[in-house]
Amino acid sequence: MAARSHRQEGGNPRLTISMLPDEVQWHLTDLEHGVPETVGGQPRSDRVDFYFLYDVCKSVFPTFPGPRVPPNALAHKFPPRHAPGTERRGGKRVREETAICRFSPVTRVDLLSQQPPAFRADATAAVLHLDIETGPASIYGQEILEVHFGVEGNWNVVPLPSPVPSEAILHLSDSLYATIYDVLSGI
């Protein structure tokens, strides 16, 4: 969902992290505001992107639940795919300041969208990309640093008979969460 239209429509997306008995869930809510990004007039279909303002990320990180297991960079952390300054395929130019890494595998991602027509999209073995980008002045009034997460997967999309609240749920293993937490503690 586009941050600019979220701001214009009074949206306030939230990330809640839940430590469940056999996994960690990242739950993104209040996605009803804003519009899906399009590329060449077509809706994006391969990624779910979300951003924290860099300063906000630094301030809320201490509230993230501590990991229950040690990080495992060998199993979950990989070099980033995109070099700084590349453009999204068919999309707008991204001013990537620092490519951090990508994490794999995100066990499952569930995306529910009330945007007409309502749909559910699921992906397994997804990849979570992490970098720091420059948010454009057209959104914020000045260029500002953002921590960007991009979830890439092979989506299974099914229509929903009626609209539901838009949300995204990332299902992470404890080991993957610990690895992400470790990397975020250093940015």
- Partner residues linked to 111 by β-bridges: 121, 168
- Range picked from 40-49, 55-64, 66-75 for highest mean pLDDT: 66-75
**pLDDT for 76-96, tens place per residue?**
999 987 644 444 554 555 566
pLDDT exceeds 60 at position 63: yes
Q: Which two tokens stand for residue 149?
A: 């997460």
Least confident of 9-13, 51-55, 78-82: 9-13
Least confident of 12-21, 58-67, 141-150: 141-150
- Partner residues linked to 106 by β-bridges: 126
Is residue 85 within 8 Å of 120, Cβ to Cβ? no
- Strands 42-43 and 38-39 turn out to be antiparallel
Closest CA to 173 of 14, 28, 26, 60: 26
Which residues are CB-neighbours of 133 under 8 A, at least 6 positions away?
Answer: 51, 94, 95, 96, 97, 145, 146, 148
**pLDDT for 119-168, tens place per residue?**
898 999 999 999 998 877 776 788 888 888 889 888 888 998 888 888 89
Q: Is the dihedral of CA 179, 181, 186, 187 positive or negative?
A: positive
Q: How far apart are CA 128 and CA 135, in angstroms?
A: 19
